[in-house]
Amino acid sequence: MRNATIKDTFSIVYKELVKTQKSIEKIEPIQARKLQIKHQQLDIGGSSAKRAIDVYFLRVALLSPHRGELEPGDAVLLSPGNVFGTLLNLDENRNALISIEELSSKLENATHIEVRRADELFLLKNQKFIVDTYLREPPEELQLIINAIFKKVALGNLIISETDYSSSDLNTAQRKAVNAALNLEAGNFLLIHGPPGTGKTRTIAALVSELVKRDQRALITAHTNIAVDNALEKILEKRILPLDEIKRIGSVARVLPTIRQITVHKGAEDYVAEIYSALYESKVLGATLSRLGLFVERMDEVGLPKFDYVIIDEASMASIPLTLMGLIFGKKFVLVGDHKQLGPIITVKGFDEVIYSAFEILIKKYPQRSILLPIQYRSNPQIVKFISKTFYNSKLQAAPSTANKRWEIAAGRHTYSWLQLAFSQKQSLVWLDTEKLGKERWHKSPRRSSAYNYGDAALILRLFTYIFPRTQQNVANNGKKYNIAIITPFKAQSILLENALLAKYRSRFTQFTFMDISDVRTVEASQGREFDLVIYNTVRTYISSQSRDTDETPRALGNPRRLNVALSRAKRKVIVVGSGKIANPDVLQYFTQLYQYARSLNALFRFADNQAVLRQTLTILKPEFEFVRRIWQQYLKSLHQ
Q: Are the C-beta atoms of 54 and 101 separated by less than 8 Å? A: yes
Give me the helix-helix angle, 589-600 and 381-391, nearest 10°: 150
Read off the pLDDT of each residue in 354-370 and give the average, rounded to a whole number: 89
Amino acid (1-letter code) at residue 569: R
**Sequence-separated (6 or more) residues with CB below 8 Å from residue 239:** none
Read off the pLDDT of each residue in 245-251 and give the average, rounded to a whole number: 87
Give a three-class secondary structure readout of 241-264: CCHHHEEEECCHHHCCHHHHHHEE
Question: Does residue 621 surpass a pLDDT of 80?
Answer: yes
pLDDT tens-digit profile of 337-360?
Answer: 999 998 887 655 555 556 789 999
Read off the pLDDT of each residue in 443-465 and give the average, rounded to a whole number: 83
Give a three-class secondary structure readout of 116-179: EECHHHHHHHHHHHHHHHHCCCCCHHHHHHHHHHHCCCCCCCCCCCCCCCCCCCCCHHHHHHHH
In terms of average pLDDT, the best of 3-12, 164-173, 426-435, 519-528 is 426-435
DSSP letter at 457 equals H
What is the pTM (predicted TM-score) of this model?
A: 0.88
Read off the pLDDT of each residue in 359-387 and give the average, rounded to a whole number: 95
Read off the pLDDT of each residue in 585-599 and give the average, rounded to a whole number: 91
Question: Does residue 95 surpass a pLDDT of 80?
Answer: yes
Largest interatomic CA distance in the chain: 82
Q: How confident is the model at residue 1 (pLDDT cuts 50, 70, 90)?
A: very low
State the burial class of residue 59 (Cβ atoms within 10 Å of its Cβ: 0-12, 13-18, 19+).
Answer: middle
Least confident of 151-165, 243-257, 364-378, 608-622: 151-165
Amino acid (1-letter code) at residue 258: T
**Sequence-separated (6 or more) residues with CB below 8 Å from residue 371:** 158, 173, 176, 177, 180, 190, 191, 192, 193
The per-residue pLDDT for 507 is 52
Question: Does residue 119 surpass a pLDDT of 70?
Answer: yes
The torsion defined by the Cα of 83, 89, 94 and 96, in degrees rounded to 10, comes to -30
Higher pLDDT pick, 541 / 552? 541
The per-residue pLDDT for 4 is 44
Question: Does residue 448 surpass a pLDDT of 60?
Answer: yes
The per-residue pLDDT for 549 is 42
CA 24 to chain centre: 22
The per-residue pLDDT for 597 is 97
The per-residue pLDDT for 3 is 45
The per-residue pLDDT for 541 is 77
Between strands 429-433 and 263-264, the pairing is: unpaired
Rounded to whole angstroms, the Cα distance separating 425 from 420 reads: 9
Phi, psi of 110 (to 5 degrees): -75, 150
Question: Does residue 295 surpass a pLDDT of 60?
Answer: yes
Higher pLDDT pick, 335 / 448? 335
H helical segments located in 400-538:
417-422, 454-478, 491-509, 523-526
Question: Does residue 270 surpass a pLDDT of 60?
Answer: yes
Q: Are the C-beta atoms of 294 and 122 separated by less than 8 Å? A: yes
Higher pLDDT pick, 423 / 41? 423
In terms of average pLDDT, the best of 382-386, 498-502, 518-522 is 382-386
DSSP string, 576-603: EEE-GGG--TTT-HHHHHHHHHHHHTT-
Sign, CA torsion 141/142/143/148: positive
Q: Are the C-beta atoms of 370 and 339 separated by less than 8 Å? A: no
Q: Are the C-beta atoms of 608 and 446 separated by less than 8 Å? A: no
pLDDT tens-digit profile of 190-202?
Answer: 999 999 999 999 9
Q: How confident is the model at residue 12 (pLDDT cuts 50, 70, 90)?
A: low
The per-residue pLDDT for 390 is 95
Read off the pLDDT of each residue in 237-242 and give the average, rounded to a whole number: 84
Question: Does residue 502 surpass a pLDDT of 90?
Answer: no
The per-residue pLDDT for 268 is 59
The per-residue pLDDT for 53 is 78
Amino acid (1-letter code) at residue 268: A
The per-residue pLDDT for 411 is 66
Q: What percent of the chain has pLDDT over 70?
A: 81
Q: Could you check whether the bond before residue 305 is cis, i.e. omega within 30 degrees of 0?
A: no
Read off the pLDDT of each residue in 102-124 and give the average, rounded to a whole number: 82
Quote the mean pLDDT of the chain.
Answer: 82
Read off the pLDDT of each residue in 421-445 and give the average, rounded to a whole number: 84
Read off the pLDDT of each residue in 239-244 and give the average, rounded to a whole number: 83
Read off the pLDDT of each residue in 177-184 and give the average, rounded to a whole number: 93
Q: How confident is the model at residue 161 (pLDDT cuts 50, 70, 90)?
A: confident
Rounded to whole angstroms, the Cα distance separating 530 from 479 reads: 20
Question: Does residue 485 surpass a pLDDT of 80?
Answer: yes
The per-residue pLDDT for 46 is 59
Question: Does residue 508 surpass a pLDDT of 90?
Answer: no
Q: How confident is the model at residue 102 (pLDDT cuts 50, 70, 90)?
A: confident
Higher pLDDT pick, 627 / 112? 627
Inter-CA distances, 67 with 27, 80, 96, Å: 11, 22, 17
Helix/strand/coil percent split, the chain, to 5: 45, 20, 35
Higher pLDDT pick, 141 / 168? 141
The per-residue pLDDT for 518 is 53
Amino acid (1-letter code) at residue 16: E
